[in-house]
Structures are given as C-alpha cells and as structure tokens.
Amino acid sequence: MKKLQDKRIVFAGQRKAEEIRKLIENHGGTFLHRPAQGTVFLNDEQLERDVRKIMSGHFDWIIFTTGMGADAILKKADEIGEKDGYLSALKRMSIGIRGYKTAQFLKKLDLEAAVRDDDGSNAGLLRELKKHHFEGKKAALQLHGEQAPELTGFFHSNKAECCEIQPYLHTSPDEKIMEKLIHEILERKVEAVFFTSKPQGKFLMEFARVKGVEEKVIHAFSTDVVALAVGKVTAQTLQETGITRLVVPELERMGSAIVELGNYYEESLL
C-alpha cells in the first residue's frame, strides 16, 4: 500500500503545482490545489534602476534571499539588454545567499557565495553575516515579497548602507479559494495542507480570523489535519500563527516534504 493512499493533500503554493500533483499521486494521494497567496512581479522602472546601480559598481555586497527573486533581477537585466554587464558586476561583488534555490541560481551562473546561511533561514544567514566586517560597506538586499527588518537592521547597526531590492510582492489570495479551503479544513474533508512559503500560513489564518473561525482552524490542525511545511522558515511562521503540530523535512525540498508526510502517516499506523 502506498504511503499517501486515500489521503487528500491540499497544495497551498502557486508554482510547480503539476510537479507536486505527480509526486502526491505517485504516493497514492489525492491532490487538491488551493493557492493561499498571490505573487505580483514588479516589472517596473525601479527594478531597472536597481540593476543599473548594481552594474555601476556602487555595491560591495549583494544578498539574495530567494531563487525566484535572484532570477527576476537577472531577467530584468536581460530585458534591458544588460545581462552580460550585470553578470560581470556580480563577479566583482561579495555574494550572500539564503536557501538552496539561491545556491542553485549561483551554480548555474558559475558564481560562488561568500556567505551562505547554515539552516535555510534569515537567522542562519545573519549568523554567517556576523562573521564579516560591514562597517562602511554598501549592500544590496533582495527582499522576498515582504520586509525583512532583522536583515536591514543588521546592516544599519553595523554602519553599512543597505539598499532594498523588491522584485515582487506577495498579495492576498482569491477569497473564494480561501473560503473553500477553510470549509475543507473545518469539515475534515482534507487530511493535510502543504505550505511552501511564509505568506501562505499568514494569509490563511488572517482569513480565518476575519471569518471568526481562527480557533476552530487551529484545533483542526492540532487534531485531524496535518500541516506540512516545506522547511524551517515556513514552519516557524506557521508556529507563530498558532499552528504548532507540524511535519517538516530535514532538507528544504518539496519532494522531501512529500516523502516526510508519507513517513509520518506510515509511522502513525505502527
């Protein structure tokens, strides 16, 4: 018997839905897609100005916090005909990264990171950044759809210039989809919800709070519905919203998370 047999798994992410569908179905589960966030790419003049500022040699450091954001900046450079100049600028700078997707991004470009987080989180990135001297330095910080006060605060407290680069924003999900997801959770019509980024849990619980069912949703996750987090950062955000019974893979990979969920159900039967 397959480990996810007869399990209805909600995928709360946006991207790679078909890949996740195949993974879940290969393990015997039923895939349901309920995107719990929206993402808007800011294909605007500000991002072009940011690219040109990087190319000018203004910055000593650039910090990439997501692979999607790092790729969006590169695409903007390509769009304005400056891809080669942008890549040359990156080679002259010290690069800091958070997460395995940013590591993959650098590997494709044959670039190396001077700083890499030790656990996939902003806290892990900060621990590694603290090993370096930043006073008087200028850093470009790619944000991940929302503010990161712990990172910007670090640079400011170390008397470093910090320029925030925001390639995209997280936006509220479709209300009808959220209503359907809340109903499925409360009625136990799903066995698990797979969260792949920080905003998804926040948006879900904010919606539940507005509808007056926050405590009921938390109770459902503490008893019958499993919250699956792709990694530690997502898990931490879920815990902050009140969802504390979590399944989290050791490696922050979507495939690893599905395998971990299957192992969880297998162990629960023993």
The Cα–Cα gap between 210 and 216 comes to 13
User: For the whole prediction, is pTM greater than 0.85?
Assistant: no
Q: Give the whole-angstrom CA distance, residue 174 versus residue 161.
A: 38
- In angstroms and rounded to an integer, the radius of gyration of the C-alpha atoms of the chain is 20
40-169 and 8-37+172-269 share a CATH fold: yes
Query: Does residue 82 contact residue 51 with C-beta atoms inside 8 Å?
Result: yes
Return the domain boundaries, the chain: 8-37+172-269, 40-169
**What is the pLDDT, as a whole number, of residue 42?**
77
Question: Can you list the alpha helix ranges (DSSP code H) found in 39-147?
Answer: 45-55, 67-79, 83-92, 100-108, 122-129
CA distance 106 to 111: 5
| Residue pair 142/63 in contact by the 8 Å Cβ criterion | yes
pLDDT tens digit at each of 270 positions of the chain: 799 999 999 999 988 999 999 999 999 999 999 999 987 887 688 999 999 999 999 999 999 999 999 999 999 999 999 999 999 999 999 999 998 889 999 999 999 999 999 888 888 999 999 999 999 999 999 998 777 889 999 999 999 999 999 998 888 999 999 999 999 999 999 999 999 998 999 999 999 999 999 999 999 999 999 999 999 889 989 999 999 999 999 988 899 999 999 999 998 876
- Residue pair 85/76 in contact by the 8 Å Cβ criterion: no
What's the CA gap between 58 and 140, in Å, rounded? 9
**Matching CATH number, 40-169, of 3.20.20.80, 3.40.920.10, 3.40.50.10090, 3.90.1750.10:** 3.40.50.10090
CATH assignment, 8-37+172-269: 3.40.50.10090
pLDDT at 270: 62
Conformation bin of residue 234: beta by default, left when phi > 0, alpha when psi is -120 to 50 = alpha
CB 163 within 8 A of CB 53: yes
The reported pLDDT for the residue numbered 57 is 97
Q: How far apart are alpha carbons 87 and 91 in whole angstroms?
A: 6
* Residues 41/66, Cβ–Cβ less than 8 Å: no
Question: CA 158 to CA 61: how far, in whole Å?
Answer: 14
Question: How is 141-185 classified by DSSP, letter by letter?
Answer: EE--BS--HHHHHHHHHTT-EEEEE-SEEEEPPPHHHHHHHHHHH
